[in-house]
Amino acid sequence: MATSIYDKKQFSLVDGTVISAAPLKIKYLREFLDEFDKIKNAKTDDESISVLVNCALVSMQQYAPHIKTVDDLEDKLDLPTIYEVIDIAAGIKINEKSEDTVKSQAVDSGSSWENLDLAKLEAEAFLIGIWKDYEDLEQSLSMAELTATIKIKRELDYTDKKFAAAMQGVDLDKNSGNQNAWEDMKARVFSKGKATDGNDILALQGKNAEKAGFGIGMGLDYESY
């Protein structure tokens, strides 16, 4: 089955125009989160909503560039749709019917750059060499796309290193313990701690045995001492 990094969603303007949207590219997400950070100082729901309106306006740079001002935004989108937009843009969920304040809902589900070394991640992705500069990269990728790109790059880098090592007679997986660690852990789980590693016959129980085509619980018995 085909998979996707993210799902595109749609929202409608008050005139019926349907806009297809996806998570914000990093360029716009930076500006969005800088604006969103101001909600921490909001004292009322009205102030919180004002911050979210500005966040939605930032999102329009990607979704509907012809909407350039707050007045344009308020003419084109009602409040429930604004909440839809900030959810699509950055995963910030607001429920109008909730008894919680808009601020508390936004802060609880909101994002930030804290504990994220974005510069390091972008530098790693940039080494692929398909972007002319970092601004080009940030205009091209959302955080989900950046993460997926780095993940596959690391996997390919490791495959290259593994091949080069194999040419020298070295098994990187074996030496690092990566090859068997997962199977050993599964063996311990299936045997309830009795198996020492993935090759232990005590690991062949239940569903694990069924997958192997035989084993304990599939016609092969054993005794514990």
Residue 5 DSSP label: S
What pLDDT, on the 0 to 100 scale, is given for residue 77? 96
What pLDDT, on the 0 to 100 scale, is given for residue 219? 41
Query: Length of the chain, please?
Result: 225
Q: What is the DSSP annotation of 68-135?
A: -SHHHHHHH--HHHHHHHHHHHH-----TT-SS-HHHHHHHH---STT--HHHHHHHHHTT---SSHH
Q: In whole angstroms, give the CA distance from residue 91 to residue 85.
A: 9
pLDDT tens for each residue of 154-195? 888 888 888 887 787 777 676 565 545 545 555 555 555 555
pLDDT tens for each residue of 59-113? 999 999 999 999 999 999 999 999 999 999 998 999 988 889 999 999 887 666 6
What pLDDT, on the 0 to 100 scale, is given for residue 112? 66
Q: In whole angstroms, give the CA distance from residue 19 to residue 64.
A: 8
What pLDDT, on the 0 to 100 scale, is given for residue 108? 84
Are 6 and 146 spatial neighbours (Cβ–Cβ below 8 Å)?
Answer: no
What pLDDT, on the 0 to 100 scale, is given for residue 73? 96
Tell me the pTM.
0.68
What pLDDT, on the 0 to 100 scale, is given for residue 215? 39
What pLDDT, on the 0 to 100 scale, is given for residue 107? 86
Residue 216 has pLDDT above 60, yes or no: no
pLDDT tens for each residue of 2-61? 566 777 899 999 999 999 999 999 999 999 999 999 999 999 999 999 999 999 999 999
Top-confidence residue, 222 or 62:
62
Residue 146 has pLDDT above 70, yes or no: yes
What pLDDT, on the 0 to 100 scale, is given for residue 82? 96
Residue type, 121: L
What pLDDT, on the 0 to 100 scale, is given for residue 222? 42
- Supply φ then ψ for residue 16, to 5 degrees: 95, -5
- Supply φ then ψ for residue 18, to 5 degrees: -100, 130
